[in-house]
Chain A
Amino acid sequence: MSARLMQGNEAIAEGALVAGVRFFGGYPITPSTEIAESLAKMLPKVGGTFIQMEDEIASMGVVLGASLAGRKVLTASSGPGISLKQELIGYASAAEIPVVIVNVQRVGPSTGQPTAPSQGDVMQARWGTHGDHSIIVLSPWSVREAFEVTVRAVNYAERFRTPVILLTDEIVGHLRENVELPDKVKVYPRRAPKISRAEGYEPYTPDEDLVPNIANFGEGYHIHVTGLIHDETGFPSGSPKVTREAIKRMHEKISRAEDEIVDVHREFMDDAEVAVVSFGGTSRTAYEAVLNARKRGLKVGFIRLVTIFPFADKIIRELSKNLRGLLVADLNFGQIVNEVERVAECPVKLCAKYDMTIFEPEEIEKSIDELVAEVK
């Protein structure tokens, strides 16, 4: 396919479609609306379904219902809507229902600054629902990658039967740039039962990878799905042992595949004495700042988190062993920095911004200079 100009949000819709998403339920909210608008046009053309729901909770409910009936599903929103979706993000986690939730971040809390960029929903993406739950969070830095990461998000949702959050931001969501998209991508199919009812099928019996092969509704398995803690049969259980094992498996099915899921883009690390950590739209600016600093002779590396959660504990720890310092460019009051501090074995410095504007390369460069001076 030849190069064309495309918006980040449109690329997410395109990615969803080639990944096999055939159902979208949503509610309009800036700056994510273009995803819904694109899919409203595209889905009926491929026999898919688009529905605008009465609120964000219903948007989650409708896609979870469609997912249980066998469709690949996606919903999209921004901060205020994600806050409402949290209830059923937990349900998807507990009942192990594949779903992709896109968050095009804007400034919060509350209604905040509706059209302005921010990356303040990092911790919400990880922890935004009650109780212990596991989650995968991915973030693209370009329009092209918005497409690719959406495909990956849909595949992970299906493979691990988990909610996956595509944590993008206004910067990438609204950016238009030239892209060449592949016509075909690798698609992970819906998992299917391996044995029949007569052979004693239980929907929540985990497979070797700890993920259960839950039947779709309407296939004759008569399964029961609940948000209550349940055993392999799918029915609720009041047992401490079942509860412990259910919560443990929910985490382990993802953590055991961590090395595969965790994707960190690294450049200039061979000679780096310090490095800048960032993700999403902010990485575009961080990259330019690193390039500029290197032109001035500073040995600065570039670390970009494509996978935000599970967090790149091992990679950051290993990299930090050979560094004098890490700078975290957080387009928020300081969220990724806490994760980096948790694992880094070198000093960590925060470069935070939370004033509706994106970083300018000079701002990050100035922090690099300060860090270099501090760790000399």
Chain B
Amino acid sequence: MRSYEKFFRRNRLPHRWFPGCGNGIVMKAIVQAIEKNPAFTQDNTVIVSGIGCSSRASGYMDFDTLHTAHGRAIPFATGIKLARPELNVVVITGDGDCTAIGGNHFIHGCRRNVDLTVVLFNNNIYGMTGGQASPMTPLGKKATTAPYGSVDRPFDACKLAEAAGATYVARSTAFHVQHLVKTIEDGLSNRGFSFIEALVQCPTAYGRRNKMGDPAKMMAWMRDNAVMKTAWDKLPDDKKIGEKFPIGLFYRAQEQDYDAAYQQVIDIAGGAAK
């Protein structure tokens, strides 16, 4: 047995994601990152997810796990963290879950800088319900609810997180596995709201409709179009074209997290420790 396998509920496996889906890669990256952080144990870590393909992951992971309602993972996670600050709380969400129905909770979670690590599995589509457009479906891409190509301008969730106050913001992909693990690992060790966008391929509901080829081709697309942040910053604007996109660490800051801030309230009010 490989060491990270203990983090899975083996009686719940095999998972029910479609063959070629990238979600399993990110789920594995999360537990590998957890394994590298001695402060995170199976008993003191809670995995919270929303609703959607990504959010199935919580059921496969052997921790206290919470599969919430659509879009609501961050408020639930906030409650857990503030009620028991000694627990580590990881949120698994998707592009629809996090930036559409949960958009308000997402930006306010960032604003409060609650000590959560939020991993957004971005498959650019509502996968579970069969391929409807999400707020992160790129312009022109087809979805069942955008049969002529999406005309809704998409969110850049990383820019959104940074602007809203998250203190760790990064992006990686299912292709760049080692980078992805390291990115999540750094997010886990940041005390504050950490946001990681993990691009995943959805060959079934997204790739097929947009003629992106098989899972391997979709991952090759990630390899060919992802540009490390350091290189991206040196790239002249006329080279930032086509489908090229930056990955890596976008923002990191040392700021007081919400629990520490609320501890000040308790101190001022003259209250007992939790």
In the complex, A touching B, CB below 8 Å?
yes
Residue A321 interfacial (CB < 8 Å): no
Contact of A45 among B9, B76, B86, B270 (CB under 8 A): B270
Q: A65-B80, A69-B83, A224-B66 are in contact. List 12 more A-B contacts (CB 8 A).
A: A46-B272, A47-B266, A54-B108, A61-B76, A62-B78, A65-B78, A67-B79, A69-B80, A69-B84, A87-B72, A217-B46, A224-B59
CA distance A60 to B62 in the complex (A): 26
A227 x B82 contact (CB < 8 A) = no
A-B contact pairs, 29 of them (CB 8 A): A44-B262, A44-B268, A45-B269, A47-B266, A49-B83, A49-B274, A51-B262, A54-B104, A54-B108, A55-B104, A57-B72, A61-B69, A61-B74, A62-B79, A64-B79, A66-B80, A67-B83, A68-B66, A68-B76, A69-B83, A217-B66, A217-B87, A222-B64, A224-B58, A224-B59, A224-B67, A227-B68, A235-B12, A236-B59
Which residues of chain A are near B72, meaning CB under 8 Å?
Answer: 57-58, 61, 87-88
From residue 53 to 97 of chain A, which have CB atoms closer than 8 A to chain B? 53-55, 57-71, 73, 87-88, 91
B84 x A47 contact (CB < 8 A) = no
Q: A54-B108, A91-B69 are in contact. Are A23 and B272 (CB under 8 A)?
A: no
Residue A297 interfacial (CB < 8 Å): no
Residue of B nearest to A217 (CB): B64
Contact with B along A205-234 (1 / 0, CB 8 A): 000000000000111111111111000000
Contact of A91 among B43, B68, B87 (CB under 8 A): B68
Which residues of chain A are near B265, meaning CB under 8 Å?
Answer: 44
CA distance A271 to B63 in the complex (A): 62
A44 x B266 contact (CB < 8 A) = yes
Residue B178 interfacial (CB < 8 Å): no
Residue A117 interfacial (CB < 8 Å): no
B76 x A65 contact (CB < 8 A) = yes
Residue of B nearest to A226 (CB): B67
Which residues of chain B are near A225, meaning CB under 8 Å?
Answer: 65-67
Residue A376 interfacial (CB < 8 Å): no
From residue 18 to 77 of chain B, which have CB atoms closer than 8 A to chain A? 42-44, 46, 48, 58-59, 62-69, 72, 74-77
Which residues of chain B are near A296, meaning CB under 8 Å?
Answer: none
Q: What is the size category of the interface that chain B forms with chain A?
A: 35 or more
Which residues of chain A are near B82, meaning CB under 8 Å?
Answer: 23, 49, 51, 62, 66
Residues of A within 8 A of B (CB): 23, 25, 41, 43-49, 51, 53-55, 57-71, 73, 87-88, 91, 217-228, 235-236
Which residues of chain A are near B43, meaning CB under 8 Å?
Answer: 218-220, 222
**CB proximity of B165 to chain A, nearest CB, Å:** 13
4 tightest CB-CB pairs across the interface, nearest first? A65-B79, A61-B75, A65-B76, A66-B83
**CB proximity of A49 to chain B, nearest CB, Å:** 5
CA distance A326 to B12 in the complex (A): 57
Residue of A nearest to B272 (CB): A47
Contact of A217 among B9, B75, B80, B269 (CB under 8 A): B80
**CB proximity of B199 to chain A, nearest CB, Å:** 27
Contact of A65 among B9, B12, B59, B77 (CB under 8 A): B77
CA distance A57 to B76 in the complex (A): 10
The secondary structure that dominates the A interface is mixed
B108 x A25 contact (CB < 8 A) = no
CA distance A69 to B32 in the complex (A): 25
Residue B105 interfacial (CB < 8 Å): yes
Which residues of chain A are near B236, meaning CB under 8 Å?
Answer: none
CA distance A268 to B126 in the complex (A): 62
A65 x B64 contact (CB < 8 A) = no
**CB proximity of A302 to chain B, nearest CB, Å:** 42
From residue 86 to 113 of chain B, which have CB atoms closer than 8 A to chain A? 86-87, 104-105, 108
Residue B242 interfacial (CB < 8 Å): no
Chain B CB within 10 Å, residue with most, of A46, A68, A91: A68
CA distance A220 to B41 in the complex (A): 10
Which residues of chain B are near A44, meaning CB under 8 Å?
Answer: 262, 265-266, 268-269, 271
A25 x B273 contact (CB < 8 A) = no
Residue of A nearest to B101 (CB): A57
CA distance A236 to B58 in the complex (A): 12
Which residues of chain A are near B75, meaning CB under 8 Å?
Answer: 25, 53, 57-62, 65
Chain A CB within 10 Å, residue with most, of B72, B272, B274: B72
CA distance A312 to B162 in the complex (A): 54
B269 x A66 contact (CB < 8 A) = no
Which residues of chain B are near A55, meaning CB under 8 Å?
Answer: 104
Contact with A along B253-274 (1 / 0, CB 8 A): 0000000001001101111111
A47 x B69 contact (CB < 8 A) = no
Residue of B nearest to A215 (CB): B64
Residue of A nearest to B59 (CB): A224
A63 x B79 contact (CB < 8 A) = yes
**CB proximity of A170 to chain B, nearest CB, Å:** 28
B83 x A71 contact (CB < 8 A) = yes
**CB proximity of B25 to chain A, nearest CB, Å:** 22
Contact of A61 among B59, B65, B105 (CB under 8 A): B105
Chain B CB within 10 Å, residue with most, of A70, A226, A235: A226
Chain A CB within 10 Å, residue with most, of B46, B66, B79, B105: B79
CA distance A219 to B63 in the complex (A): 10
Residue of B nearest to A225 (CB): B66
Which residues of chain A are near B80, meaning CB under 8 Å?
Answer: 65-66, 68-69, 217
CA distance A54 to B71 in the complex (A): 13
From residue 153 to 208 of chain B, which have CB atoms closer than 8 A to chain A? none
Q: A46-B271, A218-B44 are in contact. Are A51 and B64 (CB under 8 A)?
A: no
**CB proximity of A326 to chain B, nearest CB, Å:** 41
B79 x A61 contact (CB < 8 A) = yes
Which residues of chain A are near B77, meaning CB under 8 Å?
Answer: 65
